[in-house]
Amino acid sequence: MFSVSGGPSPDEGFPTIASLSTYRGPILLISSDDDAVFPPGTSAAIAAAHSGPETVLQIPGGAHALTLLDESDGAMVRGAIDTFLAERLSR
């Protein structure tokens, strides 16, 4: 699983960081330093609570969600997703 600017969302059925951590498979968490939607440290807190393998990619700036794919760091973000998926799907 990968998440771009993800965090707890009662509307999505994951009201807390603890509820997000119940997934034990590999995750890639991508977020920006100054995301206006989720407080700084949300991805790090999810990674700390997660009991499976995780990779955290923190991008400078304040982009949120799909904007991270389009801005100056978009190639790096897309590359991280491609690598993550290729590694998981080749098993």
Q: Identify whether 48 is part of a domain.
A: yes
Residue 17 pLDDT: 85
Residue 31 pLDDT: 93
Q: Identify whether 82 is part of a domain.
A: no
Total of domains in the chain = 1
Q: Identify whether 91 is part of a domain.
A: no
Q: Identify whether 81 is part of a domain.
A: no
Q: Identify whether 47 is part of a domain.
A: yes
Residue 77 pLDDT: 94
Residue 14 pLDDT: 77
Per the structure, the complete domain to which residue 65 belongs is given by 1-31+40-71
Q: Identify whether 18 is part of a domain.
A: yes
Contact between residue 59 and residue 32 where contact means Cβ atoms under 8 Å apart:
yes
Residue 76 pLDDT: 93
Start-to-end Cα distance in the chain: 15
Residue 32 pLDDT: 93
Rounded to whole angstroms, how far apart are CA atoms 53 and 20?
A: 14
Q: Average pLDDT of each block of 10 consecutive residues along the chain (91 residues)?
A: 84 80 88 89 90 92 89 90 93 74
Q: Identify whether 85 is part of a domain.
A: no
